[in-house]
Amino acid sequence: MKRDRKVIANAVAAALALPGIWQVAVAQEDAATPVMSEVVVTAARIEGGAPLDSSHLGAASIAPYRASTSDSARLLDALPGVSAYGAGGVSSLPVIRGLADDRIRIQVDGMDLISSCANHMNPPLSYIDPTNVDNIRLFAGVTPVSAGGDSIAGTIQVNSAPAEFAKAGEDTLHKGQAGAFYRSNGNARGANLSATIANEMLSLSYSGSTAQADNYQAGGKFKPSGLSAGTSEWLSGDEVGSSLYKSENQLLGLALRYAEHLFEFKYGYQHIPYQGFPNQRMDMTDNTSNQVNARYLGQYDWGSLEARAYYQDTRHTMNFLADKLETSGPMQNPAGMPMDTRGKTTGAQLKAEIVSSVRDLFRVGAEYQRYRLDDWWDPISPVVAMPMAGMKGSTFWNINDGQRDRFDVYGEWEARWDRQWLSQLGLRSSTVRMDTGDVQGYNPLFYGNPENPASIPGAFNASDRQKTDHNIDLAALLRFTPAAEETYEAGYARKTRSPNLYERYAWSSNNPMAMNMVNWFGDGNGYVGDIDLDPEVAHTLSATASWHDAAREQWNFSLTPYYTYV
């Protein structure tokens, strides 16, 4: 797909975003067409019954932060209760109240994406560039079952801009925008482009972005200047090695609107040719992803119906970038340690909001997700005097035909008893089925004979690896609004999460080198799985007192004590 696009513009705006950061935006409108507001079609709103400790960032709130980061997870820093574990330049791991990564349900344009990497170098939010993020919703603590599932911390929903259409009776809508940024630390630079053409029924849109940076500098010297150990790369005392990156993202959207019905189709493509990870032994040497996302939204007399189907195919490779690749000395290893991953995710969702009466609103839905993962490490031929014979032989199979299938159904009842009282009660049932194939190490000498049941890989192969979890989630919430300027809320949630494939099936417990290559927490430790690992169950109690202006637009002060037991 071509990355260059021509934009005819008649207005150019340049603005300083932050010190050391500059950004240029270009907007386009047809000269013969008067300026008009676009028609934006969105899903039925959940804000009214959302817990008080949930948060929302709209496009206007996000805009000032876009030029300051190339990592979409960092946009969450503006929300209370959220932080991020630093990793690669575009791959931080979000944290909600101390619980991180896979313990959070993360949706990008409604898709439940999965990190296909033993070191979680490609988390869900790395698949959308900050310049393409239109809005973010965070559910922390007591998450409604209609928004939760397979998580114990909460839910993060990140969306690109909704489809836009021309106003009724108006001419074709033409809209475009282009931007660029530069940040002096790490020589970070990038550009983005978006364009839309639409009439009253049909909308076609495109967005593309690129971002890259060299190693960044810390606030001061934290090490002596010199060659990175065993390499020919010189690092200054304040330079953070293996922190460089390059990322390219493209998104093509097509939408059709007819009466109260909306059909959307999106195709997304990502290519990350390299991304260094200061907190990992490995670096990313390629990440290529193709995504297809189809959605239907319909408004009816009784409420709304939404259906979605999506697919993602990810090819991910790791090795050592120049700052880590030892090309001299006693541990020289010019071939590095190639690691490969292929992940395929297929999902479907069906949900309805039913307005039963002025008081009662019901949300019901069903979800399906099918995930397949292969994780293998090709052998290398050691050079003379190189003590890396442990990587010689056959392909190391870390995960072989890993399977994780999830089936969910849920129901939720929201009742507005009067102007002061609101309640919400929900139940979700989830079935998770997991399995994997036989494994082997590079060679029997260092890793054990996979044909021998007494060895580590042999015992794994002889075991019953098929597991099925039956999980139940429950959420209950009660809200009291005695006056327009104050609101009080209390709730309880039981949330359940089954292990990921690495937590159950990473098997090499007899070789420290192999263990250290499996580090999805990014904390420098090595991990192995446990086939008999039980699902995590979290019980959360939360209460919120909120004081605000009557319109809830000018100011707000909230206090939320909570307790979570896992």
Q: What is the 3-state secondary structure (H, E, C) of 486-531?
A: EEEEEEEEEEEECCCHHHHHCCCCCCHHHHHCCCCCCCCCCCCCCC
Q: Is residue 12 part of a domain?
A: no
Give the per-residue pLDDT at 17. Answer: 35
Token readout for 262 is 């909306």
Q: Is residue 8 part of a domain?
A: no
Give the per-residue pLDDT at 48. Answer: 59
Give the per-residue pLDDT at 1. Answer: 40
What would the mean pLDDT of 308-319 be, rounded to a whole number? 98
Cα distances (angstroms) measured from residue 366 to each of 144, 195, 356, 476: 15, 34, 20, 20
The answer to whether 176 and 120 are in contact (CB under 8 A) is no
Instruction: Look at residue 466 and give its three-state secondary structure.
Output: coil
Q: Give 405-461 pLDDT, tens digit per residue.
A: 999 999 999 999 999 999 999 999 999 999 999 999 999 999 999 999 999 999 999
Residue 538 clears pLDDT 50, i.e. is over it: yes
Token readout for 326 is 């030892």
Residue 540 clears pLDDT 70, i.e. is over it: yes
Q: Is residue 538 part of a domain?
A: yes
DSSP element (H, E) containing 145: none
Distance CA 375, CA 402 (A): 9
DSSP element (H, E) containing 410: strand 396-416
Report the percentage of the chain scoring pLDDT > 90: 77
Short-list 493, 408, 532, CA closest to 144: 493
Q: Of 26 and 566, which is predicted with more confidence?
A: 566
Give the per-residue pLDDT at 52. Answer: 87
Cα distances (angstroms) measured from residue 242 to each of 279, 280, 431: 9, 9, 40
Rounded to 5, what percent of the chain is helix, strand, coil?
A: 10, 50, 40
Short-list 409, 406, 402, CA closest to 435: 402
Tell me whether strands 556-559 and 93-96 are parallel, antiparallel or unpaired: unpaired
Q: Is residue 455 part of a domain?
A: yes
Distance CA 136, CA 54 (A): 11
Distance CA 116, CA 373 (A): 7
Q: Is residue 3 part of a domain?
A: no
Q: Give 184-213 pLDDT, tens digit per residue.
A: 999 999 999 999 999 999 999 999 999 999
The answer to whether 198 and 165 are in contact (CB under 8 A) is yes
Token readout for 53 is 């400790």
Tell me whether strands 21-28 and 173-183 are parallel, antiparallel or unpaired: antiparallel
Side chain identity, residue 447 = Y
- Angle in degrees, CA 244, 276, 184, rounded to 5: 20
Q: At a CB cut-off of 8 Å and minimum separation 6, what does 260 contact?
A: 298, 299, 300
Residue 15 clears pLDDT 60, i.e. is over it: no
229 pLDDT band (50/70/90 cuts)?
confident
Q: At a CB cut-off of 8 Å and minimum separation 6, what does 10 contact?
A: 28, 29, 31
Q: Is residue 14 part of a domain?
A: no
Distance CA 258, CA 359 (A): 30
Side chain identity, residue 76 = L
Rounded to the nearest 10°, the torsion over CA 68, 69, 70, 73 is -150
Q: Give 159-192 pLDDT, tens digit per residue.
A: 999 999 999 889 999 999 999 999 999 999 999 9
Q: Of 331 and 214, which is predicted with more confidence?
A: 214
Distance CA 177, CA 67 (A): 14
Instruction: Look at residue 445 and give its three-state secondary structure.
Output: helix
47 pLDDT band (50/70/90 cuts)?
low
Count of structural domains, the chain:
1
Residue 20 clears pLDDT 80, i.e. is over it: no
Q: At a CB cut-off of 8 Å and minimum separation 6, what does 379 contact?
A: 391, 392, 393, 394, 395, 396, 442
First vs last C-alpha separation in the chain: 46
The whole model's pTM is what?
0.89
The answer to whether 169 and 435 are in contact (CB under 8 A) is no
Q: Is residue 1 part of a domain?
A: no
The answer to whether 480 and 421 are in contact (CB under 8 A) is yes
Q: Is residue 10 part of a domain?
A: no
Tell me whether strands 104-108 and 154-159 are parallel, antiparallel or unpaired: parallel
Where in the sequence is the domain holding 479, given as residue range(s)? 19-562
Cα distances (angstroms) measured from residue 160 to each of 119, 133, 251, 373, 550: 27, 5, 10, 27, 30
Short-list 238, 241, 285, 248, CA closest to 268: 248
Residue 84: CATH number of its domain: 2.40.170
Query: Which residues in 109-149 belong to E strands, given as ranges?
Result: 111-112, 135-140
The answer to whether 487 and 540 are in contact (CB under 8 A) is no
The answer to whether 130 and 108 are in contact (CB under 8 A) is no
